[in-house]
């Protein structure tokens, strides 16, 4: 048989993956994608702890869109009696491939509150399309990824090429306040298989070339200092908890930065961070020596350091403050998260690299971040996962926006990822 015949037979047996066809299909539905993003973000999906009713209305909107596009879906709802519906809905969409193993794109439907309304140029819950940008609460976090991945999956279906792996979307609840009713619930309920390929587009780089494989370990410490209240004109009768607390803050700041000083250039910033943040009110008036002082430290610790080592250093300083100022210091871990990193040789990194190279024509960069996305929950549960996406990182800001070109670019990247 001649070489030409062999090539022809090979093409007939194994038609080339139609990622360019997927890109063409996507290009034609740009305005439908933008309209869907705007309509979806008109429905706020706030967590109950932020005073909202949860995600149900938004998920029902997405179900309507999926039905219109002829895509079957299923729900795995977590019960939550804090919301009127009693459920936090998680939506799963699958397009069967030659094998059951699944490439998942995981994005979240909940949002954070608008914040300072006076800073918004428009109503945050009535997104505006202007100059190639969509502005509104939730458009980037995580609306862009919800819409880009949904249409990418639809385009793969329209291209009528059976993908190698099954392609899936997980549109999850409760990412912004802990994920107990969202991704953690799905992991616990066995929605994912060990060898699935998991991508979480919930952090963005301007050119989309970054693949995030690791998060810093998170430790939030509440520091309570107890002294004795007194009139400010007779401080000798009291023990000023605020003075002790203020000094303790500076010791913690100095000490932690000195001891945990390693750098890892994959992270921005490259070092661990230790920030004194929240400060609880002590006394309401100026002329009282405060008997109590409470502050918090947000620590983002590079993976080689265990969170426990950081906590021990703070404990040592707390004992020193007790001796020096005759106060009592209590420490409480209010948040502690650590997850292993995803290996740069793992299948998900290799597949993501290929999709980015194919669509962007650039060499992807492996990075780490300060934390935390749904990827951390996957990694903790033993699933290698990566985070990527194209955007200006306006999440949680006033005037949060997405650039329409980035929405389209991400959809093409997910299309390429689905086709392998």
Give the footprint of Zn ion on this chain (CB under 5 A). Answer: 141-142, 202
CB-wise, 56 or 387, nearer to Zn ion?
Answer: 387
CA separation for the pair 218, 277 (Å, rounded): 14
Strand order in the sheet with 401-403: 128-130, 133-135, 401-403
Is 405 labeled as catalytic in the residue annotation? no
Helices 30-41 and 404-419: crossing angle, nearest 10°?
110
Contact, 241 vs 223, CB < 8 A? no
- Name the minimum Å distance from CB 338 to Zn ion: 20
- Name the minimum Å distance from CB 175 to Zn ion: 5
Phi, psi of 197, rounded to the nearest 5 degrees = -105, 120
Strands (E), 173-209: 197-200
- Name the minimum Å distance from CB 229 to Zn ion: 43
CA separation for the pair 328, 50 (Å, rounded): 33
Geometric angle at alpha carbon 353, from 348 and 358, rounded to 5°: 130
CB-wise, 137 or 292, nearer to Zn ion?
Answer: 137
CB-wise, 216 or 292, nearer to Zn ion?
Answer: 216
The one catalytic residue in 21, 47, 110, 400 is 110
- Name the minimum Å distance from CB 202 to Zn ion: 4
Is 35 labeled as catalytic in the residue annotation? no
Check whether the bond before 372 is cis (ω within 30° of 0): yes
Contact, 34 vs 407, CB < 8 A? yes
CB-wise, 166 or 373, nearer to Zn ion?
Answer: 373
Q: Residue 417's closest CA among 164, 202, 183, 139?
A: 164
Instruction: Give the end-to-end CA distance of the chain in Å, rounded to a whole number.
Output: 30
CB-wise, 143 or 227, nearer to Zn ion?
Answer: 143
The one catalytic residue in 80, 175, 196, 202 is 175
CA separation for the pair 173, 88 (Å, rounded): 6
CA separation for the pair 237, 229 (Å, rounded): 8
- Name the minimum Å distance from CB 148 to Zn ion: 14
- Name the minimum Å distance from CB 24 to Zn ion: 30
- Name the minimum Å distance from CB 273 to Zn ion: 20
Residue whose entry in the numeric block shows the structure tokens 């009696």? 81
- Please provide the DSSP assignment of 318-354 as one string: HHHHHHHH--EEEEEEEEEE--PPPPTTSHHHHHHHH
Residue whose entry in the numeric block shows the structure tokens 């800073």? 119
CB-wise, 202 or 212, nearer to Zn ion?
Answer: 202
* Cβ-based neighbour number of residue 308 at 10 Å: 12
Tokens of 180: 């107990």
CA separation for the pair 401, 396 (Å, rounded): 10
Q: Is the dihedral of CA 130, 133, 139, 145 positive or negative?
A: positive
CB-wise, 36 or 142, nearer to Zn ion?
Answer: 142
Q: Which residues are catalytic?
A: 110, 175
């Amino acid at each position: 048989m001649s070489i030409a015949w062999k090539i022809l037979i090979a093409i007939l047996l194994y038609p080339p993956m139609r990622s360019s066809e997927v890109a063409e299909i996507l290009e034609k539905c740009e305005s439908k994608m933008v309209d869907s993003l705007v309509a979806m973000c008109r429905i706020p999906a706030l967590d109950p702890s932020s005073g909202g009713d949860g995600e149900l209305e938004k998920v029902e909107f997405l179900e309507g869109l999926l039905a219109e596009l002829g895509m079957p879906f299923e729900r795995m709802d977590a019960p939550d009696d804090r919301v009127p519906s009693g459920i936090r809905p998680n939506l799963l969409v699958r397009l069967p491939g030659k094998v059951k193993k699944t490439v998942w794109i995981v994005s979240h439907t909940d949002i954070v509150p608008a914040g300072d309304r006076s800073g918004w140029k428009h109503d945050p819950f009535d997104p505006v399309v202007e100059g190639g940008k969509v502005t509104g609460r939730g458009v980037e976090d995580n609306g862009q990824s919800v819409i880009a991945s949904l249409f990418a999956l639809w385009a793969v279906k329209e291209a009528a090429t059976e993908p190698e792996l099954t392609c899936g979307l997980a549109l999850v609840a409760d990412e912004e306040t802990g994920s107990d009713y969202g991704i953690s619930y799905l992991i616990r309920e066995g929605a994912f298989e060990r060898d699935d390929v998991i991508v979480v587009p919930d952090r963005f780089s301007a050119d989309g070339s970054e693949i995030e494989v690791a998060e810093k370990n998170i430790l939030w410490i509440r520091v309570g200092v107890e002294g004795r209240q007194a009139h400010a004109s007779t401080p000798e009768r009291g023990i000023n908890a605020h003075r002790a607390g203020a000094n303790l803050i500076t010791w913690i700041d100095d000490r932690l930065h000195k001891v945990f000083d390693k750098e890892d250039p994959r992270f921005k910033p490259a070092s661990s961070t230790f920030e004194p943040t929240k400060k609880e009110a002590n006394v309401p008036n100026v002329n009282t020596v405060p008997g109590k002082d409470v502050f918090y430290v947000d620590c983002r610790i590079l993976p080689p350091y265990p969170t426990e080592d950081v906590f021990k250093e703070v404990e040592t300083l707390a004992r020193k403050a007790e001796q020096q100022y005759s106060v009592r210091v209590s420490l409480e871990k209010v948040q502690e998260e650590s997850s292993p990193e995803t290996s740069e040789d793992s299948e998900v990194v290799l597949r993501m690299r290929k999709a980015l190279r194919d669509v962007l024509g650039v060499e992807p960069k492996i990075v780490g971040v300060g934390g935390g996305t749904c990827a951390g929950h996957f990694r903790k549960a033993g699933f290698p996962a990566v985070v990527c996406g194209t955007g200006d990182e306006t999440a949680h800001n006033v005037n949060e926006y997405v650039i329409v070109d980035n929405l389209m670019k991400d959809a093409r990247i997910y299309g390429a990822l689905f086709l392998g």
